Structure 1
C-alpha cells in the first residue's frame, strides 16, 4: 500500500476494514429513496454507528468515520448532509434535525485534543450550514441555526511573513452556543466564542466575541444591542433580521 493511499484511507475511516464496511453498506443502502430507504438505513446503519431508538436518514447522506457518530432517538438527517467524524466524533441529541446539504466536519489529523461536534436535543441545523469542529463545538438544547450559518472552531496562524500561511499551523479554541439560542441566516461564529443562553444573533452577523445570556447581537463585527431581561422586545417591535 502506497503512502498516498494510506493517507487517503486515514482521512476516511478508522481502519481499512472499517472503510470497506462503511463504503459497501452506504453504497448498498445510501441511495434508496423514500420511506423504504429511511427504514432500511435506520436498521442497517446500526452496524456502522451508535444509534438510539428510531432515526430518519434520507438518501444521499454521506458519513465518514461512522464509528465516531452518535445519533439520539428521533434524529433527522436530510438529503445531502455530510458528517465527517474524526475522533472525538459527532454527537446529535434526541429529536434534533440536520437539514439539507449541511456539513459537519471534525478534522483531527493533527491529534487536536478537543475536536468534536456535540449538538443537544431538539436543535435544528439549517440548510447548507457549515460546522468545523477542530477546536470543539458544543451546541445546547433547543438551538436553531438558520440557513448558511458557519460555526468555525479553527483559525490560521499568520504572523510570520516569511512563510506561507498554510505552513504556519492553526489554533483551535472551541465554540459554545447555549440552550435556546437562535442564530440568524448567514451568520458566522468565529473560534473562541461563547454564545450564552437564549441569545439572538442577527442575520449576516460576524461574531468575534462572547455574547452574554439573553442578549440580541447584530452587525459585523457583532455587537450587543439589547438585553432581553432589562428591555423585553414585544413581537410588534421586532426589527432584527434573523432568518
Structure 2
C-alpha cells in the first residue's frame, strides 16, 4: 500500500495533505492525537508537555528508555527518521529535525539545533520555499556532550565520547574522544590512549 501511494503522485499529495497542514507545516490535530500508536517510547522516557511533536506516521520515531525531552523543544521527523537512544537528555529549547540518530547517554545543552535537512536555493527563478529540500542523516554516537546553542548541520557524524563546545557550528565530522569548538567547529583536544590523558591539538 505504501509503495502504491508513493508511485501515484496525486494520491501521495492527497494523503500528505490529510496528514500535514500545508500552512502550519505540522501534523493535523487528529494525527497528533494518534502519536501514541506510532511513536515508540522506551520505559521511563519523559517528553514534557510543551514539546512540539511534529511527528508523522509515515516516518519512524523512537525515544529510548529513561530519556528526557525537555520543555519547549521541537521534534520533527517529517523528512527523515528520528532515533534517540537510552538515558539521553535533550535540553530545553532544542530543535531536532530528522534524519537524525542520537545514541545512548548523550547530553545536549539548551537551544541546540540538530538538522538533517537543507533547503535548495540554486534556481534564482524559483522561490527557495518552492525548490524543495535535501536530507543527509546526522549521527551522534554514544556518550556525547553537546554544549548549549550549538548547531549540528546535515551529514555530520559525531564520534563516541566527543564534546562539542557551546555555541559551536559543526559542519564536518568530529572524531571520537575529541573536543571541537568554534564556528566552524575545529578539534582542539583529543584523548591520547598511550598517555592516558587529553592533549591539545
Selected match of 2:38 from 68, 73, 78:
68
Selected match of 1:97 from 68, 85, 92:
68
1:185 aligns with 2:128: no
Distance 1:21 1:228, change over 3 A: closer
Distance 1:155 1:21, change over 3 A: closer
**Who is 1:148 aligned against?**
111
Distance, in Å, in 2 between the alignment partners of 1:216 and 1:121 is 23
**Who is 1:123 aligned against?**
88
Distance, in Å, in 2 between the alignment partners of 1:94 and 1:21 is 22
Q: TM-score, normalization: structure 2?
A: 0.81
The number of residues matched between the two structures is 178
Q: TM-score, normalization: structure 1?
A: 0.67
Q: Is the 8 A contact 1:9 1:19 kept in 2?
A: no
Q: Which structure: greater strand fraction?
A: 2
The gaps in structure 1 that reach 5 residues or longer are: 23-47, 49-64, 109-114, 235-243
SS in 1 for 2:30: helix
- State how 1:191-210 maps to structure 2 within 5 Å: 191-210=154-173
Task: After the TM superposition, list the runs of 4 or more consecutive aligned residues in structure 1 that deviate by more than 6 angstroms.
Answer: none
Coordinate RMSD, CA, aligned? 2.4
